[in-house]
Structures are given as structure tokens and as C-alpha cells.
Structure 1
Amino acid sequence: MSSSNGSPLNGLSLSKPLAVFDAGIGSYAIVDLIRRRQPRRDILYFADRASFPYGGKDRAALLAIIRATIRFLLDHEPEAIVLASNAPSIMVLDDVKGSCSVPIYGVAPPLEEALARSRSGMVGTMGVRSLIESVELPGFVRDRVPDPEHVALIEASDMVDLVESGAFLSDPERTQKAVTAFTAAIATRWPAIDVLTLSSTHLPWLRSFFEQARPDWLFLDPAEAVAAALPLPRSGTGRTVALVTESRTYTVAGFRKMLDKLGVTLDLRVVDPLVRPS
């Protein structure tokens, strides 16, 4: 057990940290946003690469992963937890909140804001396949907007791959061509759309590419609402510690390389995978 001054588990020595987790590099954008808003906050960032991609898993697999991850993070005595991934936030978060002893925040499409800022009244939500094809997302939309038919659900897994592969850093010209073609297809199918939510934590990394492709559209990052909703830290020194798992495909070496390309320096510690979905 740890003292009230912080959690010494694995020598982390963090003071009531905010735990932020996801399976990919995309969620680091949320960590960076929180850090800019709360510079004194201690943050425990967990990148569960062994479970990547969340977006390719069904509801049962996601539920098992998220439950195991929350149990693991609670050992570090966080003040709160952020599930920094849109798909599980929509698909399974309600099922795990009741068993979590600290507040847990998810990331969800800011549909009300999107429609309020749309000139045409037609908006879109971009996300990974599992989210877009889930039974939960249409229900989420119906609960929040009076006219669900005014919200297009747009599968954007190919865009997520541009981030996870690092192509958006290593080959920006190819990335821009891919984003331009993708948005052109959206405009053809839904010509009235003028606001899109970046409803995968990877997609905000492509925001400048989207804005160059469609300067007449507005792109909203759901993470901004999460960061604004978090309580102010009661203690902390502004330290960020990253825990990472790995698989044969998604290695720690690859994760370090991606962080280096982003210019991010982290205290990085490798831990064993929590769940190995079949």
C-alpha cells in the first residue's frame, strides 16, 4: 500500500495522478492538452500497445480490456481516470463506471457543439470502424440531437492508420493526398456537411491536413471538452510517467521512435500486457 504522499508502485512516486490510457499513440494528444491546462498535474499515461487496436475489437473484447486496465490503474491510486479512446467510451464505459472507485471520464463526439456551429445543419462524426458500426453510436446520437439524420457516421480507419504508422510525420505529402481524397469523398456523399468531429484520438494529429484539404469546414476535437471538465489537481509536481505494453507487431521500440518523431520526451517504463485477446 502507498502513503498519502503518493503511489510508490514501481517507484513512480506520483501524487494522486490523473491516469490517461488508450492503446495507441493518438491519446498522447490528450495528455499534452491536459498538461497545458494543468501544468502542476501529475499524469500517469498508459499506452497499452499489446491491446492495439481498440477499434478492431468487438464489444466483449473491449469490455475485458477496459475492466482489466482500470483495475491495473487503480493500484496507482489515481485521482481520476481518462479513457482516452472514443470507441470504448461509447461502447463500454457505462458498464465499467459503477465498478470504478474514482471518477472516470470518456471521450465522445461533441455533437451539440457541432450542430450549434454548423451553418448548414449537417455534421459528421469520423471514427474507427468498430465505433461507426456499433449499435451504441446511433443510440448516443439519438439521445443528444433532435434530428439524428443530420449526423453522418463516417468510417475513418484509413486516416487513423496514417497516424499509427507514422506516415503523417515521415511522408506528409502522401498523407495530405490521402486526407484530401478522403474529404472529397465525404463532400460527394454528404455535400451539406460543414462540421466534423475528430472522434478517434488519432485524428487530431491530422487536423492541419484536414484543414488544408477543406478550409471551409470546421473540425472539432472531443478531447477539449474532457480536459475542460477535469478537476484541478490538489497536489503534484507536473510530472508525466508513461507505462507501455507491447506485442510483436506494436513494439516499445516503435513507440519510442514515434515519440522521438513527435519531439516528446517521456519517462517510459515497460510493463507486462494485461489482457491478450484471442
Structure 2
Amino acid sequence: MGTDRALAGLPHAGPVGVFDGGIGSFDMVRRLRAAYPKQDIIYLADRASFPYGSLTEHELLESVSRAVDALVGLGARSVILASNAPSVTILDQLAERSPVPVLGVKPPIAEALRAVQPDGRVAVLGAGMMIDSSALAGYVASEAANVGADEQRVVRVRADELIDLVESGEFLKPAVASEQVRGFLARLRATQEGIRALTLSSTHLPWLAGEFKRVAPELQLFDPADDVVASFASVNGGSREGRGELLCVATASERHTLEEFQGIIEALELDIKPNLITLVGGEP
């Protein structure tokens, strides 16, 4: 794995590695920094593997395993896989391989079902790979059973168009974001009745939470990151001895360049500078 001198001086006091295939996982970074101000974080945007939803489960496991190995190599004492699709489909296999604790993000279906009892329905929004997976079907059945609900009250909905909207940075244009969210919800309502709640089950989707609230204030929104942020202290102790340092590293490909990622960062007005790395076995 290649890196540069910018990585050399980071004080590692129990840093956590946070990653996914794009900008979506930075929302998790923001949440962690707010909850644990002294936590040191290594944020990896694995752009060379984006989108995770296009990979087979085998390819996905190999990809996220390389990312975890890279983060551990940089000093991470725990890792958050800030992507719902691999968390639902291959998290257990990843955790068995990892030398450090790994947390994932999964749709908060039971919580949403409890909130819309007795007959409201929940739409799980996410990447197509997760939505179509047998792993999610099993997870939905388990979560519904946990609260004594009919699993038919849970609707699985592909939201790839909204994920791409965020990853491209186009969501920063208010008119574009509003049109896309309105169209998405109109199509959802035309095919599914009784939707009372949405789970934002891609780490990209919380970037659109404000738009969802403006377009459909009657819908309850559930963010999978909530459970991870709440449980993180028990895994990593909150690392209160840290200094609140943030290191950003990124992979790149011909399709998704470092310059493209830097442009999105600047458009979001984030004060971070990505350092280019190459994951062992990954794309250069």
C-alpha cells in the first residue's frame, strides 16, 4: 500500500477507521466527531471500488477486506463499514477475517415498524445489490418477527438514482435534488400504499434527509447510523484520550479520480484533504 508523508505524523490513540466506496461515509464521520470530539478517525473513501452495489458478494468481500487491512495498517483499532449493502450481506464474514472489531450499518427496520404501528408500512431504501439480496430478505423477516409484525409491511426499494445523485455532487443543486426526491417519492406512492416511514439505508441518503423532510414532512425518517454512533463507545471506549484528529485517504480509478473526489469535497465545503493510496490487490 502506497502513502505519502502526510500520513506519518498522525497521533494514533485508538483511532477508528471509517470507510465505504464514496462520499457517503463522511456523514458517519461527522456524526462520530459530534458525539466523540476527541476520537481520532481515519476516513477512507474507496473510490476505486465504487459502487459497491455493482459487485458480486465475493468481489465485495474481497474489496472491503482490502480496505479493512489498509485501515488497520494505518493504525485503526476498530473499523466501521459505513455501507449498508456489505453490512447486510457479508459483515459476518468480514468480521471473522478482521484483526480488529468491525461495526456495520443495517436498516433499522424493527425501530421503524414500532414507530408506525399498527398498520403503517416501512420502505427500506438502499442500493440495488442489497435490496435484491436474500440476506436482506432474511433480515427483514427477522426484524419484523422481533416486533411481532407482518414482514409484508416492509417494502424494499431500490434507490440507486438517489445514491448516484449524492455521489456525483448534483444533490448540492437545490432544484435538482428537489426534483429527484419528488419524482422518487411519487413513483413510490404510486406503487405502494400506506408508507409511513423510510429507512435511509445507504450512507449517501442522509445527505438528502433535509429534502425528504421538505417534500414529505409526514414521513418518519430512520438513519442506520444512529445505532452505530450510540454503540461505538462500548466497542472503542470512545477513545477519549485522542485529539480529535482526522486523516482522509482515498483510492481512485480512471472513472473516479482523486481530482473528482476533491471537487466534491470542495463543493461540500469540507475542510479535509484526501491522500491517495492504493489498496493491496486493488486497482492502482
**TM bracket, shorter-chain basis:** over 0.9
Are 1:159 and 1:203, in contact at CA under 8 Å, matched by a contact in 2? yes
TM (normalized to structure 1)? 0.92
Correspondence for 2:152: 149
Distance (whole Å) between structure 2 residues aligned to residue 106 and residue 204 of structure 1: 16
Partner of 1:255: 261
CA distance in 1, matches of 2:34, 2:169: 24
Partner of 2:103: 105
Shift of 1:14: 2.5
Instruction: Map residues 1-278 of structure 1 onto 2, 5 A cutoff.
Output: 10-119=8-117, 120-146=119-145, 147-169=150-172, 171-231=173-233, 232-276=238-282
Q: How far did 1:261 drift? A: 1.3
Q: Could you say what the CA RMSD is over the residues aligned between the two structures, in angstroms?
A: 1.5
- Quote the Cα distance in structure 1 between the aligned partners of 2:180 and 2:128: 18
Q: Any conservation in 1 of the 2:199–2:224 contact (CA below 8 Å)? A: yes
> Greater CA deviation, 197-206 or 209-218?
209-218
Q: How many residues align?
A: 269
Cα distance between partner residues in 2 of 1:141 and 1:159: 22
- Asked whether the equivalents of residues 25 and 82 of structure 2 are also in contact (C-alpha less than 8 Å), the reply is yes
Work out whether residues 122 and 195 of structure 1, in 8 Å CA contact, stay in contact via their aligned partners in 2.
yes
Unaligned segments of structure 1, at least 5 residues: 1-7
8 Å contact from structure 2 (residues 12, 75) kept in 1: no
- Structure 1 consecutive aligned stretches of length 4 or more whose deviation exceeds 4 Å: none
Of 90-99 and 105-114, the range deviating more from structure 2: 90-99
Secondary structure class of the residue paired with 2:97: coil
Stretch of structure 1 that moved more, 35-44 or 8-17: 8-17
Q: Distance in 2 between matches of 1:90 and 1:36?
A: 26
Deviation per residue, 1:190-232 (Å, 9 max, x gap): 1201101000000000111111221110111111111111012
Q: CA–CA distance in 2 between the matches of 1:150 and 1:174? A: 31
* Separation (CA, whole Å) in 1 of partners of 2:257 and 2:87: 25
CA distance in 2, matches of 1:268, 1:165: 17
Cross-structure match for 2:3: none
Q: Residues 203 and 274 from structure 1, CA distance in 2 versus in 1: closer, same or farther, beyond 3 angstroms?
A: farther
In 2, are the aligned partners of 1:122 and 1:151 still within 8 Å (CA)?
yes
Quote the Cα distance in structure 1 between the aligned partners of 2:116 and 2:54.
31
Q: Distance in 1 between matches of 2:256 and 2:76?
A: 27
Cα distance, 1:150 vs structure 2: 1.0
Deviations 1:224-243 (A, max 9, x none): 11111101214210010001
In the TM superposition, what is the alpha-carbon distance from 1:101 to its structure 2 partner? 2.2
Contact 1:179/1:213 (8 A) holds in 2 = yes
Structure 2 segments unaligned to the other structure (5+ residues)? 1-5
Identity over aligned residues, as a percent? 36
Whether contact under 8 Å (1:18, 1:80) holds in the other structure is yes
Q: 1:9 offset after TM fit, Å?
A: 6.3
Distance in 1 between residues matched to 2:212 and 2:135, nearest whole Å: 27
Q: Secondary structure at the match of 1:241?
A: strand
CA contact (8 A) 1:14 1:42 kept: yes
